[in-house]
Structures are given as structure tokens and as C-alpha cells.
Chains A and B, each alone.
Chain A
Amino acid sequence: MEKIIVCYKWVVDENDISVDYDGNIKMREPSYKVSLYDRNAIEAGTQLAEKCGAQCVALTAGDAKSEKSRKEALCAGPSEGFAVIDDALESADSLLTATILSAAISKIGDAQLVICGEGSGDVYAQQVGPRIAAALGWPLLTYATSIEVDGEKLRIKRDGSEGTELLEAVLPLVVTVAGDCNTPRMPGLKDVMGAGKKPFTIWSPSELNCSAEELVNGLATMEIIGNRPDRKNIVIKGSGKEAADEVIRGLISEGVLG
């Protein structure tokens, strides 16, 4: 195996998002980060590349903010990075994102394995990995908890409804990894200092072999409303019979008990 491509998304840190009493979303100068589960994908790709002597390459797509992801993505292990940047990509849905990423994967060339996280930390649609497989015409396997290379084959584990599934696959393949498949490594000082020196290439969508019809958003967001919990918030203090009886009376009146 020559090259592994890991895809990641540069997302708002959800801790910087808050909802006020009127349901308005507030994001004051939010900080951004590589999406949580994508870090598992980067770690999986880096580990496999180390074991097989392959190259691990990071890939992302987004608006100009995504250019800042360079050092954070590259200090986590990949030897090189690519980003497709365009302001229109800020509101890209999974269809458009996957079309762009698979075009970039083809342009990067020589990859036999693409690894994605199970879903992004901001919208968690969990679609891009499977969509990339369809766009590339490659087979797909999702929610892998471990990936091993055995000669020409890949041995993959994942959780199924009946138990743990052990699967065998051949390359090329798109795999999405489950969030608990590994613990992303702590980059050492050398990794942090060296990240900025690794190559990072930026493309615009027009540089990819996509037609204008392909570069289309499948969804449009009409509105985003903050969720305020809408609960009764009845507070009961006390840990004895009286408090217990009060709770039970409440539950009976709600029709969920008795």
C-alpha cells in the first residue's frame, strides 16, 4: 500500500457555542479545531502508514478558515496535507463536500485507502465517508474499530447487532472509523514544531476535474434555532420518604407511573 488519505473537517469548538434565553445562538470569536472523530481517522491512518511504510496524507475542504487547520492536522502524524478552499464551501452539504473530496483524492493520486471519521463534531451528519466511496466507485466499510493489514488484505473489526464482526477486504477501500477505535497520540514538541514545515497544498474547486453541475449544494439551511430545554424544572430537596413521595405523585400525575 503506497498512500493512505485521511479526511478531516475544521469545525467550531462546540464549547464556544452557547444559546441565550431567547434561543439565539451565540458564538463570540469561536475557536476552531480538527473535528473530534476525525482525529481518530488521522491516528488510524498514521498508525497504518507507520506499520506498512506507506505515506499518510491529510485532506480537508472548506472556506478560508480551513487553511488554519494545517499545523493541527499535520502535527498529528500525516506527512503532507491538502485543502480545497472556497468561501462557497462554508455552507456545503455532505453531497457537495464528498464530491469535492473525492475529486481531490483522484487528483492527489496513488491512494488505495481513504479513512474518515464517523461524523463531524458540528453537524454530525455521518455521511461524507460513505459518499466518498460512492463518488470514487470504491467499496465502503463503516464504523471500524480496528484495521490491520495482512499482505494484500485488510482485516477489519467492527460492532454489529449480533456481536463483533470480523471482516476481510481488499484495496481500494473507504473506511470510516468509530470514535473508540483508538486514542489519538499526544503530539510531542518535535511534532508541533515540525508541522509547519510539512508540505500543505491548497486548491480551489476549479482546479479539480469537476463540472459546474457537480459542484452543487444538495441542501439549503433555512434557519438555525438554539435549543433551550423546555422542562418543568421542579426542584425537590431532600432524600427521604417525603421527597420520594413527592416525586412519585408528580410522575403519577404525568401519567408515566401507576
Chain B
Amino acid sequence: MDFDFTDEELLFQKHLREGVERLIAPGFKERWHYDGLNRDLLPPLKELGLLGFAWPEEYGGQGVILPDIMHGIAFLELGRADCSSSIIFGATVECAEVLMELGTKELQDEWGPRLATGEAYCGYCFVEPGMGTDLGNIQTRGELQEDGSWIISGDKASVSFCTSDAFIVAVRTGDQPGAYGVSLFFVPADLEGVSVSIYEDFGMKEIGRGGVALRNDRVPAKYLLGEREGGFKPIMHIFDAGRPALALMCIGAAETVMEQCVEYCKQREVFGQKLSKYEAISFGLIEHKTKLDLAKMMAFKAFWLRSQKKWNAKEAGQAKFYGCEAAFESIWFCTRAFGHLGYTSEYDALYRLADVMGFAWGDGSWEVCKMVAARDEFGEEYLPYTRRKRTDAVSK
């Protein structure tokens, strides 16, 4: 076992930490009040060398895939400064990997150059008003037309980056039950029947979470991603990276707040002693730090398994539910340690708390993560539903 990062991973982290401190950290509190996808974060992300992964060089991309551990490091380091920046970066990587693996050459040529450089941005439409966790229950329908195009209608909810230029949309195209009937499509946002509404979230305000309505949108065949009714696996594959990534992002935010709190407690005095001397403080801090450290290790293990092409759904789920909750609790503890001013905009703490809270739901609620991890660890008897079987129903 080797618990150290490699030299390259350490160098990557070192330079990123400096760059993030210079380019992303300043102005966090002012930016936090944004409402919609904050594209102003794209140029600094580009300067940090974080845009264009998985896109070929001829599209203006980097021509390399970001290795898994470094993917985790990037989420951690960006999360230290601004969770939104972390997700805005991460989504570009997912988009590139999905479109390069499953997209048609025409789609890649048409959109690759703009997406690789950050000129255009792509959001994700999976969840719907009627279902969240139960992804197999997608109702948005796609009907195949004679000319090979598809007419897509439905409502999508909790769309990350709903003010994007395009979306990757999960659509039911077949009659097979549940997930087996789902296809993935690339849908430009400027189609007539596409309309968007931004939620008033209490945190993560720079990513523009909202709803997207699709009304009879004609999507050409070249925008089908992969095989029809092959959509579920890529979505799950995204989560296998996304879950530990988000855990690391939340842990990064918590670590920053904790570092501020540790310094504060060395200075602040009560009853003639520095706060740091009291065990209510030191024990509290170390308990929370322990949980953050454990979650961090689990998240990197989940990435490591992925890098070895091994199944990692359990570890990914564990990292997410444990890490995000640990981050939430430790930020809350530190906020209280700051005293009454912790309740004000003087300190970052409540902003970070609001951001981190979003991941009780986002990209896999804590509950579904526990479900998946329990199933993997203890067996299928531990699922609340029976897994559907693929039928021989033929799609139209």
C-alpha cells in the first residue's frame, strides 16, 4: 500500500493550490450572490489548465484524459476556494468524456471546438419533476421519426447549468422497463421548444440549477449519444466519478473553514484562556478533522479503483454520504466556534455551509448512496425494490 500521492500528483496539487488561491479564491463572497451559470469562472479555469481534458488537440483541447486521482485533487483544491468553480470544471470533463466516447463524429466536430475551449457550455438533464433518485422512471419521451430524427418532449428538473448552450438529456425511447428504455441525447438549448427556469437556491448559486422544458424538439440522429436504449450505463459511470469528486469538493470547503477556525481559536480568548486550550474546541476539531480525513481517503480510494478499471460504486457512495455529511457538520461546528460573528458575512463559514448542503441531494442523495453501498456490501436482499429484468419488447 502506498498512501502518498505520486510526484506528479503532488506537483499538480501544489501548482493548482497556488493558482486557485490567486485566480479563484478572491471575490468568492461577492460572486456567491450570482444567479445562473457564472461563465466568468471559465477564463480562470482555463488559465489553470483545467479546461479541454479529453478533447483532442485539433478541437483546442488538451488531447489527454485527466487521470482519476488528479481529477479528485482538482475537485478538492477548487472546493477549497469555491465549490461552484469545482463543479463548473468537473462538468466540462464529464461532457468531454461522454461526447468523445458516445458522440457521433459530426457532433464532435460541430461542438467540440466550442466546448473544449469553454466558449460553449453543456448542462445535464436527468432528473424530472416526478422522479429524482429513481432514474429508471424517466418519463421524457423521444419518438423516432421517419427521417431518423427524434421528437423529444418532457420536463427536466434539477438541471445543473440550466443556462447552458446545450444539454445531455436522458430520454425514454424504448418500451423496456425502467432504465433499459433510456437513451442519451445531445440537445442544443436554442431549439424552439426548449425553455429554462432558474431555481432560487440558497447555495451553489453560480451553477444555475433549474428546470428545463422540452416541447416537441426535433433532434437530429447525429445527436443520439451511443446506442439507443444504452443510456443508463454512461449515466452511472458519470456518478462513479462524480460522487467521490463531490465528496472531495465538500471536504475542501470544510478544510478551508477549519483552517480559519484553527487560527481563530489560537487567538481568541475566553475566561482568560485561548479557545484552543479548551477540550470542547480541540476535541471537536479533531473529531471533525478525523471524519474529513477518512472521507478523503475513501474518496481517493474510489478514484483509485476507477483508475484500475475496477467496480467502485460502493466506495463512491460511501465517500459521498460520509464525506458530504462530515463536511456539513464540521463547517457547522466551526461556524459556532467563530462566535456570533460566524452568523454574519464576516466569515466564509455560512456561505460554505450553504454550498455544501446542496450535496445532501445533488448527484446522488446520501440515501441513495447508502442504498447502493449497502447493496454492494451486503447483497441484493438489501434493496427496497426488485431489479427489473430486461424484456424482449421491441422498440418502435
Contacts and interface: CB of A to CB of B under 8 A. Distances in A.
User: Is there any pair of Cβ atoms, one from A and one from B, under 8 angstroms apart in the complex?
Assistant: yes
Interface of A: 33, 71-72, 75, 186-190, 192-193, 195-196
SS class, residues of chain B in contact with chain A: helix
Given A75-B11, A186-B19, A186-B47, 9 more contacts: A186-B15, A187-B49, A189-B12, A189-B49, A189-B64, A189-B66, A189-B70, A190-B62, A193-B8
B66 to A, nearest CB: 7
7 contacts: A71-B7, A186-B15, A186-B47, A186-B48, A189-B49, A190-B64, A192-B12
B198 to A, nearest CB: 32
Nearest to A190: B64
A72 B49 CA distance: 16
Please give me the 3 A-B residue pairs with the lowest Cβ-Cβ distance, nearest first. A188-B49, A186-B19, A71-B7
A116 B47 CA distance: 26
Nearest to B65: A189
Chain A interface main SS type = helix
A187 B70 CA distance: 14
Contacts of B8: 71, 192-193, 195-196
Contacts of A75: 11
Q: Most A CB atoms within 10 A — which of B12, B15, B66?
A: B15
Interface in B11-53: 11-12, 14-15, 19, 47-49, 53
Contacts of B12: 189, 192
A56 B66 CA distance: 28
Interface in B355-372: none
Nearest to A193: B8
A186 B44 CA distance: 11
A75 B14 CA distance: 12
B46 to A, nearest CB: 10
A195 B49 contact: no
A222 B246 CA distance: 51
Given A186-B19, A186-B49, A195 B11 contact: yes
Interface of B: 7-8, 11-12, 14-15, 19, 47-49, 53, 62, 64, 66, 70
Contacts of A190: 62, 64
Contacts of A195: 8, 11
B153 to A, nearest CB: 41
A102 B390 CA distance: 74
Contacts of B48: 186
Nearest to B64: A189
Contacts of B49: 186-189
A181 B62 CA distance: 28
Contacts of B66: 189
Nearest to A33: B14
A189 B12 CA distance: 7
A196 B15 contact: no
Contacts of B70: 189
B256 to A, nearest CB: 15
A201 to B, nearest CB: 18
B11 A188 contact: no
A75 B12 CA distance: 10
A71 B47 CA distance: 21
A195 B7 CA distance: 10
Q: Among B47, B49, B62, find the residue whose CB has the most chain A CB atoms closer than 10 A.
A: B49
A195 B15 CA distance: 14
Given A186-B48, A188-B49, A189-B12, A196 B62 contact: no
A189 B68 CA distance: 13
B118 to A, nearest CB: 15
Contacts of A192: 8, 11-12, 15
Contacts of A33: 14
Q: Which of A75, A188, A195 is the most central at the interface, judged by chain B CB atoms within 10 Å of its CB?
A: A188
A188 B46 CA distance: 10
Nearest to A187: B15
B92 to A, nearest CB: 14
B20 to A, nearest CB: 10
Contacts of B11: 71-72, 75, 187, 192, 195
A75 B64 CA distance: 17
A193 B15 CA distance: 13
A33 B10 CA distance: 11
A193 B70 CA distance: 11
A183 B303 CA distance: 33
A72 B14 CA distance: 10
B8, B47, B70: residue with the most chain A Cβ atoms closer than 10 Å: B8
